[in-house]
Structure 1
Amino acid sequence: MPNVSTTTNQDQPTPTVRFAPSPNGLLHVGHVRSAVLNWRYAADLGGIFLLRIEDIDIGRARPEYEAAIFEDLAWLGIGWPAPVRRQSEHFADYEAALTELRKLDLLYPAFMSRSEAQAQVRKIESTGQSWPRDPDGAAHYPGDDRNLPSAERTRRIADGAPHAWRLDMKAALKGLGTTLLWDEHGEGPAGETGKIAADPAAWGDVALARRDFPASYHLAVTVDDAIQDITDVIRGQDLFAATSVHRLLQQLLGLPVPRYRHHSLVLDSTGRKLSKSDGAASIASLRDEGVTPADVMNRAGVADIRLGEPSA
């Protein structure tokens, strides 16, 4: 693993938060809510607000979208220190984490494609049997290749067989000997606050890397938060359940545990969260229409919200 702080957040005097958009589209009002809550929290507590570019999906990331992120945040009056951490420049950090998990014998190469795995699940469900699904609704990976002999795994990889590296969830949980918890200070989907018991098993054997994708969101965000000494993760309620996976990875890799604050989402007229893929109005388009930064913050519901007590 790369060098990271091993102190707990109580030992870190400076609150540090991050806003971490992906440059695969333009920012919308939902992004503004998260960015402003993070930025204002740091400002109130005399802390540090970091901008991170989550461009690990290099096939979809575009430099023009990264430039637009910088422009939109600056227009809103948000500043950040340089340099900006770009995931695409730190693949070695994620590979180091994967190496540690391999040493613990907690990863296995999964050779089934998504379509093959889905077909197998559909076949099982067609018989009337139920099949577990993760909190996002996706079926758990069947895991047929979890117990392949080492020689067979090596042969297939040497032959160039496409594969992902998946976490053996049962093995990972077996050696813990403790209940994983996190401190929640936000607005969980059901109003959860305080000590939250993580449930990583609900996610099954999560993929942590693919042959053409050096790290999953779960792995990259966990490693990045540790390297950047993030003390408080402030993000949307839609990532509340994913925190269970992140807590497990923190425990397995010996990484510090930040506090979490999951905030409510900005919804459209149908009650769905705003999304780039659904054509949510971009900040750039609103700016072109003459909407002011104050108006955008009002639309994001953050005109008067503060998460931290102002510093003296």
Structure 2
Amino acid sequence: MPPPVFRFAPSPNGYLHLGHAYSALLNFDLASQQGGRFLLRIEDIDVTRCRPEFEAAIYEDLAWLGISWETPVRRQSEHFARYREAVEGLSAQGLIYPSFESRAEITRLVAEREAVAPWPRDPDGAPLYPGVAKSLSLEQRQQLIAQGAPYALRLDIEAALARTTDLAWREEGAGPGGEHGFVNASPQAWGDVILARKETPTSYHLSVVIDDALQSVTHVVRGRDLFWSTSVHRLLQQLLGIPRPVYRHHRLIEDASGHKLSKSTQATALRELRRQGVTAAEVRRLVGLPDGSRTTTGGC
């Protein structure tokens, strides 16, 4: 039986902080305990915000923490053709349609609807897509694209759900409400999610499930803030015919006010802590992990 495969997949759009340290160390420790493999993946599909200096800092910070990883490192920006192929396959099944409203137009549409009645929102609190692009004819869509109109490619959730069954996943951690064991996915809560844009042939949801499958990742260990995103990921895994990993959503590292740490919070950046003389062992204690690779299951 092949060994389990764990991964840490940061985006190089800022410096790593204590929250990243906890997730990376937890994945590394679990891989070590189970005789598994640990992968590092650079999720840099946002070419406008991701920068080489942040990627270099990721390698530096992880090495300082005592983490080693397999090479070569997969960089998502080098695999746009693979993601585009998946989008084209879903489109050929009639599961994707382009929407043309700008963010400002969507905000206006939501405001108009909320003036009449509450408008549904996804688990992250963002309003579901309110536009009418799904009702446009093929000729209308082609004409707008030919005119150079910006667009987002959305998954038709209703059509996708009609083609799938058994979207549950095995949860070894816990969700926001304490969900554990086998959890039933609810992708409809997200509405018609964006899978790609005119200028970027993929999205987080699409690229993460493709990469996990291509890299044979067996255990996805990540923050609890991504718990309900797993619903979309399970749906895409079924549509694309790829394996379902085991999931483990861990607690979040919060600041003094109880908010999730952000890359914009410079005081928590690992490089800043290192500058202040904090050691890697102290970082482990700060995030609640024992020394070495003796991580327990508590707090996850």
Structure 1 residues without counterparts, runs of 5 or longer: 1-11
SS in structure 2 of the partner of residue 124 of structure 1: helix
Aligned-partner residue type, residue 113 of structure 1: S
| Larger displacement relative to structure 2 (180-189 or 258-267) | 180-189
Aligned-partner residue type, residue 144 of structure 1: V
In structure 2, distance between residues paired with 1:280 and 1:217: 27
In structure 2, distance between residues paired with 1:74 and 1:125: 49
In structure 2, distance between residues paired with 1:30 and 1:133: 26
Q: Following TM superposition, by how much is the alpha carbon of 1:182 offset from its aligned partner in structure 2, in angstroms?
A: 0.2
In structure 2, distance between residues paired with 1:280 and 1:124: 41
Contact 1:37 1:307 in 2 (8 A): no
From 113, 116, 126, the equivalent of 1:124 is 113
From 110, 125, 130, the equivalent of 2:99 is 110
In structure 2, distance between residues paired with 1:183 and 1:119: 39
**CA 187–307 in structure 1, closer or farther in 2 if over 3 Å, else same:** farther
> Is 1:209 equivalent to 2:199 in the alignment?
no
From 19, 32, 35, the equivalent of 1:46 is 35
In structure 1, distance between residues paired with 2:128 and 2:213: 28
Corresponding residue of 2:19: 30
Aligned-partner residue type, residue 158 of structure 1: A
Corresponding residue of 1:258: 245
Paired residue total: 295
Contact 1:143 1:205 in 2 (8 A): no
Normalization by structure 1: what TM-score?
0.92
From 109, 121, 124, the equivalent of 1:136 is 124
Deviations 1:4-50 (A, max 9, x none): xxxxxxxx521001000010110000001100010011111111000
Between the aligned residues of both structures, percent identity stands at: 57
Deviations 1:238-272 (A, max 9, x none): 00000000000001010100000000000101100
Deviations 1:179-210 (A, max 9, x none): 31000001221221110000000000000111
Corresponding residue of 1:150: 138
Corresponding residue of 1:101: 90
**CA 197–270 in structure 1, closer or farther in 2 if over 3 Å, else same:** same
Q: Following TM superposition, by how much is the alpha carbon of 1:280 offset from its aligned partner in structure 2, in angstroms?
A: 4.6
SS in structure 2 of the partner of residue 208 of structure 1: strand
Contact 2:109 2:131 in 1 (8 A): no
Corresponding residue of 2:62: 73
Aligned-partner residue type, residue 52 of structure 1: R
Q: Following TM superposition, by how much is the alpha carbon of 1:278 offset from its aligned partner in structure 2, in angstroms?
A: 3.8
From 205, 217, 226, the equivalent of 1:218 is 205
Q: Following TM superposition, by how much is the alpha carbon of 1:153 offset from its aligned partner in structure 2, in angstroms?
A: 0.7
From 8, 11, 25, the equivalent of 1:19 is 8
> Is 1:249 equivalent to 2:239 in the alignment?
no
In structure 2, distance between residues paired with 1:119 and 1:201: 23
SS in structure 2 of the partner of residue 260 of structure 1: strand
Corresponding residue of 1:200: 187
Deviations 1:279-300 (A, max 9, x none): 4521111111111101111111
Q: Following TM superposition, by how much is the alpha carbon of 1:143 offset from its aligned partner in structure 2, in angstroms?
A: 3.5
Which gives a bigger RCO, structure 1 or 2 (Cα 8 Å, sep 6+)?
1
SS in structure 2 of the partner of residue 143 of structure 1: coil
In structure 2, distance between residues paired with 1:226 and 1:99: 18
Contact 1:185 1:260 in 2 (8 A): yes
Question: 4+ runs of 1 displaced by more than 4 Å?
Answer: none
In structure 2, distance between residues paired with 1:296 and 1:251: 39
Deviations 1:110-157 (A, max 9, x none): 001111011011011112x12110000000011301021111111111
Normalization by structure 2: what TM-score?
0.96
Contact 1:110 1:166 in 2 (8 A): yes
Q: Following TM superposition, by how much is the alpha carbon of 1:174 offset from its aligned partner in structure 2, in angstroms?
A: 1.7
> Is 1:61 equivalent to 2:50 in the alignment?
yes
Aligned-partner residue type, residue 167 of structure 1: L
In structure 2, distance between residues paired with 1:169 and 1:52: 28
